[in-house]
């Protein structure tokens, strides 16, 4: 009799334990898809953030090159038109001829870079990713250095002229030098953007 009672009382206990184990299994099984979904959302958000950062860098570099294009154009046009007669002609001074030459070079470089950007926007073929970023970085740095060297060469002679006579010729020369300096700043910042993009490139 007691054995029968023990057997009958043990059956519900076993059933309860089986039910608890099944519930735990259901909880564990339901948690795995939730974790996978959360992981997938994290990957998607990371990819979206990366795309936005790349788009911002691309737009920043293009905007800086547009500004450099305009400043370099003004630099060599203003200096090239600085012809006031007699000694007040830019071609009489090697430093001013250098400003014109580097201004033209910077204008051509930024024009080509803007054409490349337009080709990319229209879905055309451009250089490979790593090569394109390397060309941007090297081109921005070299052109910025040349602009700075032209500015550094032209400032001393302009200051000496303005000490003796401040006139339209010296004012135009100073304006051209200022435009070349602003072009240098834009390309220097563009080189920083290109350097950041180059550092983020993977080589595996």
Mean pLDDT, rounded, for 100-119: 92
Is position 44 within any domain?
no
The string of pLDDT tens digits covering residues 113-159 is 998 888 877 776 776 667 888 888 999 999 999 999 999 999 999 99
Is position 74 within any domain?
yes
The string of pLDDT tens digits covering residues 35-76 is 555 555 665 555 555 555 566 667 788 899 999 999 999 999
Q: Which domain holds residue 160?
A: 59-199
Supply the pLDDT for residue 7.
Answer: 44
Return phi, psi of residue 89, to 5°: -135, 130
The total domain count for the chain is: 1
CA distances from 134 to 31, 193, 197, 203 (A): 46, 12, 9, 13
Is position 14 within any domain?
no
Is position 35 within any domain?
no
**Two tokens, residue 149:** 């060297």
- 89 beta partners: 83
């Amino acid at each position: 009799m007691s054995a029968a009672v023990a057997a009958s009382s043990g059956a519900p206990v076993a059933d309860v334990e089986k039910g608890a184990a099944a519930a735990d299994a259901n909880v564990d099984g339901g948690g795995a898809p939730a974790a996978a979904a959360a992981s997938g959302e994290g990957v998607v958000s990371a990819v979206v953030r990366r795309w936005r950062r790349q788009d911002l860098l691309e737009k920043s570099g293009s905007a800086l090159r547009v500004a450099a294009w305009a400043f370099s154009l003004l630099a060599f046009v203003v200096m090239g038109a600085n012809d006031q007669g007699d000694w007040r002609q830019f071609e009489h001074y090697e430093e001013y001829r250098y400003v014109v030459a580097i201004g033209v070079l910077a204008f051509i470089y930024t024009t080509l870079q803007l054409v490349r950007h337009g080709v990319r926007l229209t879905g055309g073929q451009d250089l490979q990713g790593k090569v394109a970023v390397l060309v941007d970085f090297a081109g921005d740095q070299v052109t910025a250095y040349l602009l700075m060297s032209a500015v550094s060469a032209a400032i001393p002679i302009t200051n000496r002229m303005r000490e003796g006579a401040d006139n339209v010729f010296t004012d135009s020369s100073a304006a051209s030098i200022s435009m070349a300096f602003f072009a240098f700043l834009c390309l220097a910042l563009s080189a920083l953007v290109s350097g950041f993009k180059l550092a983020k490139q993977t080589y595996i």
